[in-house]
Amino acid sequence: MPKIVDPAARRRAVAQAVLSVAARQGLEHASLRNVADEAGLAIGSVRHYFADHDELMTFTMRELSQRISDRIRTHAERLLAPDGRTDRQAATEELLAEFLPLDEARRQEAALWLAFTAAAQTRPELRPCAAEMHTDLHALMSRVLHEARSAGGLPAGMDVELESTRLAALLDGLTLQATLLPDRYPPMLLRQVLRRHLGALKSDS
């Protein structure tokens, strides 16, 4: 009896092969041949699931984006739907800290995302995903700050949209620096900078 292959699972496995090659050698080395070898497949099998290299890269970037979103959603649900026992300040910090490369898994994830967003500058097919991730990040920052303001933890007259942009820029900058210079930007320092920023927002009230 022929083996039944789940197409969705196979596509995700090939995307993981792209990420593995990119993490070791750089995104520019994630050719169809190298990805097929990494996945243990014939190159024809990869082409069966993806029309071309552009489609494979777009799918992989969306898979990476979804992983980041899924990981953050748990913290977002805890913060934005508190049960009365949730420490809102601590939950806010933990949620935002999920965007920072605080451990090896998140450092690799951040490096991969930076590689894809850099590639989007010259590969138009990747730009929509990069733009969606940016929009989603800003929307989450805005919602977190709106909730904090409604709860009385931030000044009533605070410009939430401006502060959302500032917070997103802070997280982006910390992630870039910590990915490039991990020894100079250890996890403790990243948390201190984030905590100081959140404290400054609160103290203005």
Residue 25 lies in a domain: yes
Q: Is the same domain home to 120 and 32? A: no
Q: Is the same domain home to 126 and 27? A: no
CATH number at 169 reads 1.10.357.10
pLDDT (average), residues 46-64: 94
Q: Is the same domain home to 69 and 44? A: no
Q: Is the same domain home to 116 and 192? A: yes
Q: Is the same domain home to 69 and 45? A: no
Q: Is the pLDDT of residue 58 over 70?
A: yes
Residue 142 lies in a domain: yes
pLDDT number for residue 204 = 60
Q: Is the same domain home to 140 and 109? A: yes
Chain segment 60-119, per-residue pLDDT in tens: 999 999 888 888 877 777 666 666 566 677 778 888 888 899 999 999 999 999 999 999
Q: Is the same domain home to 141 and 182? A: yes
Neighbour count for residue 147 (Cβ, 10 Å): 17
Q: Is the same domain home to 91 and 175? A: yes
Residue 101 lies in a domain: yes
Residue 56 lies in a domain: no
Number of domains in the chain: 2
pLDDT number for residue 85 = 60
pLDDT number for residue 141 = 85
Q: What are φ and ψ of residue 128, in 5° steps? A: -60, -40
Token digits of residue 199: 């404290």
Q: Is the same domain home to 75 and 38? A: no
pLDDT (average), residues 24-48: 94
Q: Is the pLDDT of residue 18 over 80?
A: yes
> What is the pLDDT confidence band of residue 1, given thresholds at 50, 70 and 90?
very low
Higher pLDDT, 151 or 2: 151
Alpha-carbon gap, residue 65 to 167, rounded angstroms = 19
Which residue has 């590689």 as its token pair? 115
b/e per residue 14-47 (b: at least 16 CB within 10 A)? bbbbbbbbbeeeebeebebebbbebbebeeeebb
Q: Is the same domain home to 30 and 129? A: no
Domain that holds residue 23: 1-50
Task: Report yes or no: 163 and 145 within 8 Å, Cβ to Cβ.
Answer: yes
Task: Report yes or no: 194 and 170 within 8 Å, Cβ to Cβ.
Answer: yes
Residues 6+ apart with CB under 8 A from 125: 54, 57, 58
pLDDT number for residue 83 = 62
CATH number at 2 reads 1.10.10.60
Residue 59 lies in a domain: no
Chain segment 123-179, per-residue pLDDT in tens: 999 999 999 988 988 888 888 888 878 877 778 888 999 999 999 999 999 999 999
pLDDT number for residue 39 = 94
Residue 57 lies in a domain: no
Q: Is the pLDDT of residue 34 over 60?
A: yes
Q: Is the same domain home to 186 and 110? A: yes
Residue 188 lies in a domain: yes
3-state helix, strand, coil in the chain (%, to 5): 75, 0, 25
Q: Is the pLDDT of residue 7 over 60?
A: yes
